[in-house]
Structure formats: C-alpha cells, structure tokens
Amino acid sequence: MFDSRASGILLHPTSLPSRFGIGDLGKNAYQFLDFLSASDQQVWQILPLGPTGYGNSPYLSYSALAGNPLLISPELLQADELLTEEDLASLPEYSADKVDYDLVIATKLPLLEQASNNFKNKASAQQLQKFQEFCDRHREWLDDYALFMGLKEANGGASWNQWDKEIASRQPDAIEAAVTSLQEEIFYHKFLQYEFFRQWKELKKYAHERKIKIFADIPIYVAHDSVDVWANPEIFCLDKETGEAALMAGVPPDYFSETGQLWGNPVYNWEELKKTDFHWWIGRVEGILEYADLIRIDHFRGLQAFWAVERGEQTAINGKWYEAPGEAFFTVLGERLGTLPIIAEDLGFITPEVEALRDKFKFPGMKVLQFAFDSDPANGFLPFNYVDRNCVVYTGTHDNDTTVGWFNERSPEAQARVVDYLGCVCPEGIHWSLIRLALGSVANLAIFPLQDILGLGSEAKMNSPSKANDNWEWRYRQEALTDELSDRLKHLTNIYGRSPQVVRN
C-alpha cells in the first residue's frame, strides 16, 4: 500500500473553518492541505462524504455515492458568478466551534437553490455541456438519486417505504410520472452533485500536487432510507410487504454491551449480489475511488461473516451469524481494479477467518493506541506486538474520545499504566506522547485526529457512539494551525522516518 513510512491527519471536511457555519470545500480546505504539506504529512483521512439525514451521521447517508451538498463552498459559487456578494451578505452568527446543522440547513440550502437557478438560466453552452457530460457519466446512480431526493421532499421527508405503494415499489408508470412532475427538483439535485464533485475534483488535484493522498471511508452498510435500498431492493434482505429490513445489521453481545448493538440497517442479500458478479458493490468502490486514493472499509469483518437480527427484535441478543462471500467479492474486485487500495477496519470481535481474509488480500489492519493499555503485555495494540508493518496505527479514531480526554478520564492507576509504558509523559502533554509512540512504531502509516495534534479535551470529540444527538459537530478555528505546530509535527515526522524526503536504501 505504501512503499515507505508515512503519516497523516484525520479530519472530516465539516470540521473545517468557514463563514457558513460548517466546513466546506473552499479556501480553508486548501489552507488545511497547505498545513499538511508544510508538516510533511502525506495523507488526509476523511469520513464518508454522502448527504446526511436525521442525526447528521456520515455513516447514515441517503446515497452511497452522492456528495453532501452542505460541503459545497458558496464562495466558490460566487467566484463562478452563480452567487453575488449581496447573496452572502446577510449570514447569521454561526458558532465557530460547532456545527448547528439546523441553522446551516436553513440558511445554506436557499443559497444553493439560488445558485442552481442562476446556473439554469445563465450558464453558457460550454458550462451546460460539462454539466450534461457529468450527468451522462454518472447516470447509473445519479438519475435514481435525484429522483429519490425529489420524491423525498415531495413526501415531507418520509422514508421511501411510506410513499405511495406504486412509487415505493418503483412501478414503471409511477416512475415515469414522477420524473415528469419533478423535473425542476431533479435538475436541482443533479446540479448540487455536479458542483460538489467539481469542487472536490479541484481540491483533490491540489492535494496531489502537494503529494497528499485522500483516504476515504466506506461504511459496510447503507441506511434503509436511502436511494441504494429503494432502487436496488433485490440485493437487500427486506420484508416484501412493508419494505422494512427483514434482517437487521448489528453486532452480538460482548464485553462492552450485554445486549449487543442493533444498528437497524438492512443486511445484504449476498446470493443476489453474487448473481451479478457483485455489480453494485464494485460500482460503489469505483465511485469512491473517483474522489479518494485509499479506502477504509468500516466493519470489515462483516464481509467474512455478519450478525443479523430478525425484524421486530429490540436488541441484538437474538441474532445469528451468516457467512459472507468476501473472498469471492475481493477476487472479482481485484480482477476489475488490479491492486486494491483498501484498509480493513478490523476492530472488535475478530476471528481467525476474518484475519485470513484480510491477509489473503494483503489489506492493512488497524491499531489503536487508546486500546493498548488495559490488559497484559500480549495486547495486540501495543507497538512491540506489531509483527507486520502492513498496518495503520492511530492514537484514536472518530469514535474515540480525544487522547487528552481519554487520559483524563482514566483512573490514577490506569494513567500510571500508560506512563509506565511510555517511561514519562512529554512536557507538551500526553497527546504528543502517544503521537510519538505511533510515529515510532513499525506501522507503515500513522494517523492522528486533528484534535490530538491540537491537544484538545473531550469537548472536541467527533462522535460518541452511545449518544443519538450532539455528534459530528466539532470544528477547529483557523488560528489553531500555527507555524509552531506545523514545525513540531514536521520535526517529529522526520525524526521517525515518515517525511516524504526521507531516503531509504
């Protein structure tokens, strides 16, 4: 995956500074890439980029392939004369530290609608041609997505299986009538995707010019209320009468939860997927690789065997393991794409069979330092137990507390175990101690959430999996990325042989 040692930063674009209440693909994204480059970082890891619904989770998107319109930069739209300075003049007072999604949606979507109308009415022939080329190229998923979003709005945001039966079941006459009646809405949603991917393509180009790779994330499951399930019901385990998930995804009871985790997503009908040589999944991976260089598959173990719970259950206790054809899928995917730039999220309950699948295709696994200090010296997350360089080491992930918050929440005895292992804590703080530990490990790639680089506490957590609300909101302030911070990170990156300039025999 990497020919030499490298490191990078985990930051979702919503966490970038901007004057519009949420991070976007404008100037601050470019400035963040400048910070990465100046700090000798070679990877920018992001979370899924899809359009989000209730709860704002990037892991519950309306589409596995569409981009989130809230990430479109109004300033770039203004530069293209699709918005005016007057359009951007009356913005509310947004928080600089957290995303207020309700306020952002209420104020940003009207700007996007205005830009869409201006494009429709004023675009040159060349601009319209590029728009049409984009629509033609992505027709396989874009047509369904734009219609799905138009129908969702026309139905007051209701889930697709609550729509009229004819359109919920995609009867041809109903689809044709909806396409005719929702032409304006369909154009709008196609325009948003055109702008999102146009802006992202330029940002990715800028990253590559600075030798920075984009590291994206694929959630193994998709949301039930998504165009993917509505448009492809045959590849999911659904109740034929109601459209609800007949078998729901989750994980069984374990040390952390007596009742397991019941996620509610429909699981895949792998028999149907195999009949098509995994067409939908391969299209999904190819689509993500249009905007990313590397992919982490979340809940990788579900591609070897997955826990499924029948509809009506309230917990994950009464589930069952089902085998998945992961080996067959990755074989077909490799035949299509060649070398697979995939990282396996192999955390949690991992069996020898899951490890064999990961290792057969030489996928790097994950090591999380926050998990390393609460058992014995055989703990696989301790760096001296990394027997293979082909892995990615993290101080923590988006689902963990920040390193400072994690350490402060530990008991004095638990803190002492960490300090005993480290020998001492860096004068700059525990976060730099764990960053040093990750950088000094044999892992080919080391990744740190930006919150750890900044030394922030629990107030900067990105996600608390046990909480339904108040997640995905954290943002940093532009002044936090100082030259001093960049120099420190660059210095340590060089000491531990992860700078791009390091020459190896």
pLDDT category at 505 given cuts 50, 70, 90 is very low
DSSP state of 469: S
DSSP state of 13: G
What letter represents residue 79's amino acid?
A: A
pLDDT at 502 over 90: no
Q: Give the tens place of pLDDT for each residue, 67-104.
A: 999 999 999 999 999 999 999 998 999 999 999 999 99
DSSP state of 384: G
Residue 53 near residue 60, CB atoms below 8 Å: yes
Q: Is 345 a catalytic residue?
A: yes
Q: Is 113 a catalytic residue?
A: no
Q: Please give the sequence-ordered ranges of beta strands (E in DSSP) within 287-378, or none if there are none.
A: 294-298, 305-310, 319-323, 342-344, 365-368
Residue 434 near residue 452, CB atoms below 8 Å: yes
pLDDT category at 4 given cuts 50, 70, 90 is confident
Query: Where is 213: in which H helix or E strand?
Result: strand 213-219
- Interval 401-420 mean pLDDT: 97
Query: Where is 85: in which H helix or E strand?
Result: none
Q: Is 470 a catalytic residue?
A: no
- Give me the DSSP letters along 216-284: EEEESS--SSSHHHHH-GGGB-B-TTT-SBSEEEEE---SS-TT-EEEEEEPB-HHHHHHTTSHHHHHH
Residue 265 near residue 223, CB atoms below 8 Å: yes
Alpha helix ranges (H) inside 317-411: 326-337, 352-360, 403-409
Radius of gyration of the chain from Cα atoms? 23
% of the chain beyond a pLDDT of 70: 99
CB neighbour burial string for 15-35, b if at least 16 within 10 angstroms, e if fewer: bbbbebbbbbbbebbbebbeb
For residue 377, give the 3-state DSSP assignment: coil
Residue 504's pLDDT is: 56
Judge residue 266's burial from the number of C-beta atoms within 10 Å of its C-beta, 0-12 exposed, 13-18 middle, 19 or more buried.
Answer: buried
Distances in Å between the alpha carbon of 161 and those of 61, 140, 148, 154, 376? 16, 22, 12, 14, 50
Residue 184 phi, psi dihedral angles, 5° rounding:
-65, -45
> Given 144, 217, 225, 298, which residue is catalytic?
298
Q: Give the tens place of pLDDT for each residue, 269-324.
A: 999 999 999 999 999 999 999 999 999 999 999 999 999 999 999 999 999 999 99
For residue 310, give the 3-state DSSP assignment: strand
> Given 40, 144, 195, 345, which residue is catalytic?
345
Residue 292's pLDDT is: 97
Residue 333 near residue 271, CB atoms below 8 Å: no
pLDDT at 443 over 70: yes
